[in-house]
């Protein structure tokens, strides 16, 4: 039985571990966070797409988690799935990836396949990870195999999971790519080979940059459409009836999650390093999308002013603070900057989210309102930020005095769409 060591047991590494276990491989999950390791070994899943029952099934089939990097020495396959965040300055932070590569290098054995799945800019695998691994004295492409295969996890998506989403693979050499393709062929239905690691790295950034820019396009049209007195939601729906050459994107209060707000920054940063200037489309999209919480706050104040209610002292109830529907993930959520703006304006900010019971906002710990119905009725204005399936939108529209719907899914006399 082949042993797989997966470094990083978050929303990418843990589902990958389950898939590998189901394929009959021996899997150990390696994570530097001792609390995560203890939770996993005690049957507690911290990832939305895996239930406690899923984790129990994994453990019964041999899965275990550890913080001991020495486990890497005995693995035939080492997959790196650590986060690639931004620094405080907004630049790529490869610290976690460098640390993971250093752990692997200290334990690297000849014949091992090392694959990076963490999203990063083109050239990282070859120029950053490879030199660290080769500090072991082993040479990539000769003594061990090295490849890049970007994660394509979509948390909360019941239709597309790891197995039925094509897996892109690019190797340091053709032989490295071939071995990585054979490995992933055990786990997924389709493997897409590309020439090298840079092409695979670029493919992932293209996917998310494409979404980032098109979301910004419709977000920018929100203001114009309001000035023109037209229903942008209806216009987008009508445009989407064209069977070719168009894909609908919808406005919202901003972008969130680990991918859309962050991944394009990696691409733009690399352009600045290589070309001397950032990618203009990416930077403009970031400017537009990051302005949306401020624009939503303006619309809230305008709606209250129309009824003679000042923002200062008004109760504003935020509905759904996660970055996407039906998951408990609030990373980079646009609800956070919106809440800050409202509080700076003197508003009393409350929130409800069936997936987030406690929300740490700066130095404050907020609690989701216990009684949604009474809180909706008591608020001066409700803001639908995320359309969780648990929400009865018609009931909210009936109970609320005023609603600002940032998702274009509500109707009723009390409702105003973004």
Render pLDDT for 298-349 as a digit per residue (tens, 0 to 9): 999 999 999 999 999 999 999 999 999 999 989 999 999 999 999 999 999 9
Residue 1 has pLDDT above 60, yes or no: no
Backbone angles phi, psi at 395, to 5 degrees: -65, -40
Query: What superfamily does domain 233-417 belong to in CATH?
Result: NAD(P)-binding Rossmann-like Domain (3.40.50.720)
pLDDT digits (tens, 9 = 90+) for 358-378: 999 988 899 999 999 999 999
Distances (CA, A) of 230 to 17, 61, 166, 238, 242: 49, 57, 40, 13, 20
Examine domains 3-195 and 233-417 and report if their fold is the same. yes
Q: What does the alpha-carbon distance between residue 60 and residue 27 come to, in Å, rounded to a whole number?
A: 12
Coil, helix or strand for 157?
coil
Query: What superfamily does domain 3-195 belong to in CATH?
Result: NAD(P)-binding Rossmann-like Domain (3.40.50.720)
Number of H helices and E strands in the chain, helices first, is 14, 15
Question: Does pTM surpass 0.85?
Answer: yes
pLDDT > 90 in the chain, percent? 86
Residue 2 has pLDDT above 80, yes or no: no
Of residues 169, 171, 162, the one with CA closest to residue 23:
162
Average pLDDT over all residues of the chain = 95
Q: What does the alpha-carbon distance between residue 308 and residue 129 come to, in Å, rounded to a whole number?
A: 59
Burial of 280: CB neighbours in 10 Å, binned 0-12, 13-18, 19+:
exposed
At 186 the pLDDT is: 96
Domain ranges, ordered by start, for the chain? 3-195, 233-417
Residues β-bridged to residue 114? 78, 146
Give the alpha-carbon dihedral of 283, 286, 288, 290, to 10 degrees.
-140
At 350 the pLDDT is: 98
Coil, helix or strand for 398?
helix
Nearest-10 crossing angle of helices 263-275, 197-228? 110
Q: What does the alpha-carbon distance between residue 336 and residue 405 come to, in Å, rounded to a whole number?
A: 17
| Active-site annotation holds for 81 | no
Instruction: Choose, from 81, 176, 259, 382, the residue flagged as catalytic.
Output: 259
Of residues 4, 2, 281, the one with CA closest to residue 117:
4
At 259 the pLDDT is: 86
What does the block give as tokens for 115? 């694959």
């Amino acid at each position: 039985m082949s042993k797989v060591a997966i470094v990083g047991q978050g929303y990418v590494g843990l589902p990958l571990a389950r898939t590998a276990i189901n394929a009959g491989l021996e899997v150990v999950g390696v994570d530097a966070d001792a609390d995560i390791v203890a939770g996993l070994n005690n049957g507690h899943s911290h990832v939305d797409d895996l239930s406690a029952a899923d984790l129990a099934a994994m453990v019964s089939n041999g899965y275990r988690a550890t913080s001991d990097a020495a486990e890497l020495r005995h693995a035939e396959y080492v997959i790196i799935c650590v986060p690639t965040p931004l620094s405080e300055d907004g630049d790529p932070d490869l610290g976690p990836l460098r640390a993971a590569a250093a752990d692997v290098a200290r334990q690297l054995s000849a014949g091992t396949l090392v694959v990076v799945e963490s999203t990063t800019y083109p050239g990282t695998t070859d120029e950053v990870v490879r030199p660290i691994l080769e500090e072991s004295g082993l040479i990539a492409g000769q003594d061990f195999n090295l490849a890049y295969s970007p994660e394509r996890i979509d948390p909360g998506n019941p239709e597309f999971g790891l197995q039925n989403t094509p897996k892109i693979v690019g190797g340091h050499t053709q032989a490295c790519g071939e071995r990585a393709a054979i490995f992933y062929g055990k786990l997924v239905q389709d493997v897409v080979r590309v020439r090298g690691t840079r092409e695979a790295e670029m493919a992932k950034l293209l996917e998310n940059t494409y979404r980032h820019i098109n979301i910004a396009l419709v977000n920018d049209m929100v203001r114009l459409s309001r000035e023109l007195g037209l229903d942008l939601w209806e216009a987008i729906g009508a445009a989407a009836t064209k069977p070719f050459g168009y894909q609908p994107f919808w406005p919202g209060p901003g972008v969130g999650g680990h991918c859309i707000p962050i991944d394009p920054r990696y691409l733009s940063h690399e352009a600045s390093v290589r070309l001397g200037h950032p990618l203009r489309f990416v930077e403009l999209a970031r400017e537009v999308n990051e302005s949306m919480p401020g624009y939503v706050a303006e619309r809230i104040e305008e709606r209250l002013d129309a009824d003679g209610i000042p923002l200062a002292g008004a109760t504003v109830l935020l509905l759904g603070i996660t970055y996407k529907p039906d998951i408990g993930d609030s990373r980079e959520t646009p609800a956070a900057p919106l809440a800050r703006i409202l509080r700076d304006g003197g508003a009393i900010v409350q929130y409800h989210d069936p997936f987030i019971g406690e929300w740490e906002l700066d130095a404050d710990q907020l609690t989701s309102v216990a009684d949604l119905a009474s809180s909706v009725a008591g608020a001066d204005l409700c803001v639908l930020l995320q359309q969780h399936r648990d929400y009865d939108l018609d009931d909210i529209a009936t109970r609320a005095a005023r609603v600002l719907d940032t998702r274009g899914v509500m109707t009723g006399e009390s409702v105003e769409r973004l």
